[in-house]
Amino acid sequence: MEKQNSLERICQALAAIPKGRVVTYGDLAEMAGYPRAARLAGQTLRKLPRGTKLPWHRVINAQGRISLPEPGASRQREKLEREGVILLKGRVDMGKYRWKP
DNA sequence: TGTTTGACGCTCC
DNA sequence: AGGAGCGCCAAAC
């Protein structure tokens, strides 16, 4: 029986996101098995340690924008661009980068 | 056990 | 097109 907490599941879903692609919090939550729980995804990611190997930066809101307050926002943007995800006007082209399996 | 909180999403103005 | 408000879900207090 999977006694896995949301953290575990979210992490797994997160690890499934290919490089150069992004997903919304809602999608991530759904992938983790919590449809409609987009907020949960965000709150869970918030707990992740800094040196996390997980691609937490590939998660953005449905508007294609970075939801993080300042400290991490810049960091996330840099990581995304580094993977090839271009932010135009601080926005990501969901039509192209949104992970669509 | 009940209430509040969020790295959200969608609709309406 | 941009901004505001209401709704959802699970975890934390």
- Predicted confidence (pLDDT) per residue in A43-81, tens digit: 999 999 999 999 999 999 999 999 999 889 999 999 999
What pLDDT score does A1 carry? 57
Q: Domain A6-95: which topology?
A: Arc Repressor Mutant, subunit A (1.10.10)
In the block, which residue shows the tokens 């926002």? A73
CA of A49 to C1' of B3 (A): 28
Q: Is the pLDDT of residue A4 over 80?
A: no
CA of A2 to C1' of B2 (A): 27
- Write down the domain spans for chain A: 6-95
Please state, for a pLDDT cut of 70, what percent of chain A lies above it.
97
The closest nt to A40, taking CA to C1', is C10
Strand C: which nucleotides have any atom within 7 A of a protein Cβ?
7-12
CA of A81 to C1' of B9 (A): 25
Contacts 24+ apart (CB under 8 A), A56-60: A56/A14, A58/A14, A58/A17, A58/A19, A58/A21, A58/A22, A58/A23, A58/A83, A58/A85, A58/A99, A59/A14, A59/A17, A59/A22, A59/A23, A59/A24, A59/A25, A59/A28, A60/A22, A60/A23, A60/A24, A60/A25, A60/A92
The closest nt to A72, taking CA to C1', is B7
